[in-house]
Amino acid sequence: MRIVFLEPIELDYDTVNKACDSLRSQGHEVIVYKDKRPELNIERSQGADIIVETDMLLDKAYFNAVGGIKMLAIAVSGLDHVDLEECKKRNIHVANAAGYSTEAVAELAIGMMIELYRHIRDNDQVTRSCKAGAILPGLELKGKTLGIIGLGAIGRRTAELAKAFGCNVIAWNRSPKQVEGVTNVDLHTLLHRSDIVAIHTALTDDTHHLISAKELSLMKKSAIIVNTSRGGVIKSDDLAKALTDGTIAGAALDVYDGEPPLFCGLPPINNDNTLLSAPNTLLLPHIGFGTSEAQILRLNITIENIQKYINNITL
């Protein structure tokens, strides 16, 4: 088979190319492109049986221009950028790198909670200004109630880490899941009881703007909210207003409502976003997946997915 990596999936070329030797040893042709050039995707894909990429748009126009593709090995977990209906019509198998960033995102979520509670950035600035004193008091995670929205792999791992810090963990999932040490509650109860709300649910029609002004009004005035899942789960302007009005105490976000796909090369928010002027916010540029360990893991998962497809193993 002809396997084409349209990009080095955010790793250096030599690492990816060497990892493909196992495929070459089985007689497959593997081409790894050294750069990410969406405008060249159609040209680079000609004659390929298997396409590997991360988050570049693969829409109907792409599939109309490129025939013969048997498999897409998507080296990220999300598939928002792939026209799955077209893949189904054309009998193209699609596999993602599910689970590669579980640890990275869960650890970041905990780190964001600690940052908001201990004012780490602000205290750094106090020190750098050579002034006496500090921004006090902070808060501890121990004894706080963490409400997790979405008990997928990342939500479950966040629960494990939070319990290690001494948090009481409650959760809401569209279909209740039994997780040791986690109490299932309805969404209303979760928002009302939680000191920290962590969002780890997928973005669907049902979860789009799941958290808006009404839901934010149910939270404690001392509560904070953390989102490392998909930005569209929270209605951005409503969150900014809740922070400004003191409805809730703080927010830490790695994703944003209306955020453009990463392949566009655009910033996650514009300078007119109301969150930029909201108090006690931590705004990160979608880095949850971005650890060296996660990047190597997703490369390994991607190659494993290709091997399974080639060997007719159900993914």
3-class DSSP assignment, residue 27: coil
User: Among 119, 200, 230, 298, which one carries the catalytic annotation?
Assistant: 230
Place of tokens 């593709």: 69
Residue 188 annotated as catalytic: no
Q: How far apart are CA 201 and CA 268, in angstroms?
A: 19
Q: Which two tokens stand for residue 153?
A: 């792999």
Residue 174 annotated as catalytic: no
Q: Which residues pair with 9 in a beta bridge?
A: none
User: Among 28, 209, 286, 304, which one carries the catalytic annotation?
Assistant: 286
Q: How far apart are CA 20 and CA 170, in angstroms?
A: 43
Residue 157 annotated as catalytic: no
- Count, in order, helices (H) and strands (E) of the chain: 12, 12
Q: Helices 292-310 and 102-118 sit at what angle, rounded to 10 degrees?
A: 160
Q: Identify each DSSP E strand in 190-313 by its residue range.
A: 196-199, 224-227, 250-253, 281-283
User: Among 86, 259, 298, 304, which one carries the catalytic annotation?
Assistant: 259
* Residues marked as catalytic: 230, 259, 286
